Amino acid sequence: MNPFRIYAPEECRSDGYPYAWRSIDGGRGVKHLVREAAEYRCLRCLHPYRAGGPDAMWSRCDRECRHGGPGRVLRGDVEQRFDDPPPGGLYLWMRAGLRVDAAWRILTVHHLNGVKADLRWWNLVALCQRCHLQIQGKVVMEQIYSWEHTPWFKPYAAGWYAHAYLGEDLTREETMARLDELLALERVA
């Protein structure tokens, strides 16, 4: 059975999350599968996720990170904190051999439509805590958005458009094959 679907109330825990959210047949749950599919990286800012670090507040950046602060640069035992890095700062600091950590970038899985029982793939996106809060405050799936979507968001918007405008629940692969067609649905609506 496909775990990426809408769950009935009797298939959910008292907190509203489906049992499959945490575990499927005693194994990893949907939230783990979503993180894995994102290669344990925030899809928006590209910050990597490493579970079980010594300090949950700080996590190490790598050269793919595309976020601002807050953060810190470590040079031996000396720590310098920043609210926002200078242009190219993260990359330049790392290139110079310095360690750069970001604050509160733990990987979460966000339900784009806000419905915990809706585990369709296009509704679930791996985001760090900071991106999660920003997207949660901005994105309303039902709201018409006639501008170009950011590259990371296009598959999710297209999946939603297929559902909302065509009544089709497509797989990610089917959505990607029809991406331009599906994204155009919002621009003509």
- What is the span of the domain harbouring residue 18? 1-49+105-139
Task: In whole angstroms, give the CA distance from residue 6 to residue 1.
Answer: 12
What would the two tokens of residue 109 be? 């899985």
Tell me the pLDDT tens digit for each residue of 64-115: 999 998 999 999 889 999 998 888 888 889 999 999 999 989 999 999 999 9
146 with 189, same domain: the answer is yes
Q: Hunting for tokens 């979503």 — which residue is that?
A: 34
91 with 171, same domain: the answer is no
78 with 154, same domain: the answer is no
**DSSP per-residue codes, 83-107:** SSPPTTHHHHHHHTT-EEEEES--E
Average pLDDT over residues 150-159: 97
Average pLDDT over residues 118-123: 98
91 with 168, same domain: the answer is no
Q: Hunting for tokens 């059975």 — which residue is that?
A: 1
93 with 1, same domain: the answer is no
76 with 153, same domain: the answer is no
Q: What average pLDDT is seen over the chain?
A: 92
119 with 148, same domain: the answer is no
66 with 158, same domain: the answer is no
Taking the CA atoms of the chain, what radius of gyration do you get in angstroms? Answer: 19
In this structure, the number of other CB atoms found within 10 A of the CB of residue 93 comes to 21
22 with 111, same domain: the answer is yes
Q: What is the pLDDT of residue 165?
A: 95
What would the two tokens of residue 110 be? 């966000």
39 with 110, same domain: the answer is yes
Q: What is the pLDDT of residue 90?
A: 86
Of 76 and 51, more confident: 76
19 with 34, same domain: the answer is yes
Instruction: Please name every residue paired with 110 in a beta bridge, in sequence order, or none if there are none.
Output: 125
